[in-house]
Structure 1
Amino acid sequence: MAFKNSVWAKRIAKTVGYFVAIFIIAMLVDWYRSADIETTVPEQSTTLRTLQGDTVDIIERSKEAPVLVYFWATWCPYCTVVSPMVDGIAEDYDVVTVAFSSGADEKVMQIAQQKGYEFATVNDQTGVLARRWGVSVTPTILIIRDGEVQSVTTGLTTSLGMRARLMLAR
């Protein structure tokens, strides 16, 4: 019986070790990719117009509560996984999304409607907003509080991870 427990203990330790290694690698990748991200909301990006026709002031909104800013693209395969989670988070938190180099307004709106996304979207056709923010990878998620970037995540992430970052920024 002791042999079986020993084998299971080794398997569990090995699995935990893998998860810790993956977590550390993910943190290092985020750190590397976020090196060019602005730490404050760029001045030219404070007030934006969404495809829905609303004006969004990220700095003002971030004074009341943290704002999740989500850079995504219609052509991004990882965004097809992350976008539905962001859409769900938008029901509980302030979310502004930026469609990065995704084409004309009509195309972005059509894709968002097909997917059932209800989040506010700014169309960054030429990628100028992304460049101002220092974003070069999709998806990129920024948590903004009081006009300052509190957290940066790139690539795949979880709803739980995004919600935890938002709660920590309160």
Structure 2
Amino acid sequence: MANKEMKKGKPKTKIARWMKEILTFTLIITVFSIAIDLWRSRDMPSTNMPSLSMSTLEGDWVDIKKMSHDKPVLLYFWATWCPVCNFVSPSINWLSTSHQVISVALSSGNDKRLGQFMAYKEYNFPVINDTTGNLGQAWNVTATPSIVIVKNGEISSITTGFTTPMGMWLRLYFS
């Protein structure tokens, strides 16, 4: 009888131990991710945001500062040649159906090539083609993808590299 009670108690101990390990691992990954974001985005503007008022590939005029006074804008710096962007862009496309999203394609070819890429991938988010890399330089973008949340004309959040849809949504929600 005592043997049966011990066996019943063991699974609870194993589950508790696994939960503790998962929680510890999640905490370490979160801290590591935040540290990398801070390091990669250290040169990006934090207060004096460069102007971004221009025409998208579709011909629509956008002004990030003005747009951000209505609701937050997710500004997405990416490239067609960026492997990580292949994982993040579908989430950006999904978010663009319910949130203000403006993307900047960095050194991704001419307008025709970029338009073909967008059509092939079935991306519908607005894109500004930065063929010369001048916008990326003005914003000090050193990693693709880089995601900047702009609220009331100011930057409220910056993240770089792989970001989950939930992470992007939370940044928009809490900005």
Which of the five TM-score ranges fits, normalised by the shorter chain?
over 0.9
Partner of 1:82: 88
Among 128, 139, 144, the alignment partner of 1:138 is 144
Q: Secondary structure at the match of 1:119?
A: coil
CA distance in 2, matches of 1:11, 1:168: 31
Partner of 1:3: 10
Could you tell me which amino acid in structure 1 is paired with residue 86 of structure 2? T
Task: Kindly state the Cα deviation for residue 49 of structure 1 after the two structures are TM-superposed.
Answer: 1.2
CA distance in 2, matches of 1:60, 1:114: 31
Q: Percent identity?
A: 38
1:20-39, Cα deviation, whole Å (9 max, x unpaired):
11011001100111101112
1:50-73, Cα deviation, whole Å (9 max, x unpaired):
110111111110111110000010
Matched, 1:28 2:29: no
Q: Secondary structure at the match of 2:33?
A: helix
Structure 1 window deviating more from structure 2 (94-103 vs 1-10): it is 1-10
CA distance in 2, matches of 1:159, 1:3: 37
1:83-131, Cα deviation, whole Å (9 max, x unpaired):
1110111111111000011111111111111000011100011211011
Task: Kindly state the Cα deviation for residue 2 of structure 1 after the two structures are TM-superposed.
Answer: 2.0
1:95-114 to structure 2, matched below 5 A, reads: 95-114=101-120
Matched, 1:42 2:81: no
Q: With the length of structure 1 as denominator, give the TM-score of the two structures.
A: 0.94
Aligned residues: 167
Q: Secondary structure at the match of 2:88?
A: helix
Q: With the length of structure 2 as denominator, give the TM-score of the two structures.
A: 0.92
Among 94, 100, 115, the alignment partner of 1:94 is 100
Larger Rg: 2
Could you tell me which amino acid in structure 1 is paired with residue 37 of structure 2? D
CA distance in 2, matches of 1:87, 1:152: 18
Partner of 1:18: 25
Q: Secondary structure at the match of 1:37?
A: coil
Task: Kindly state the Cα deviation for residue 4 of structure 1 after the two structures are TM-superposed.
Answer: 2.6
CA distance in 2, matches of 1:66, 1:130: 20
Question: 5+ residue gaps in structure 2?
Answer: 1-7
Question: 5+ residue gaps in structure 1?
Answer: none
Could you tell me which amino acid in structure 2 is paired with residue 5 of structure 1? K
**Structure 1 ranges of 4+ moved more than 6 A:** none
1:52-91 to structure 2, matched below 5 A, reads: 52-91=58-97
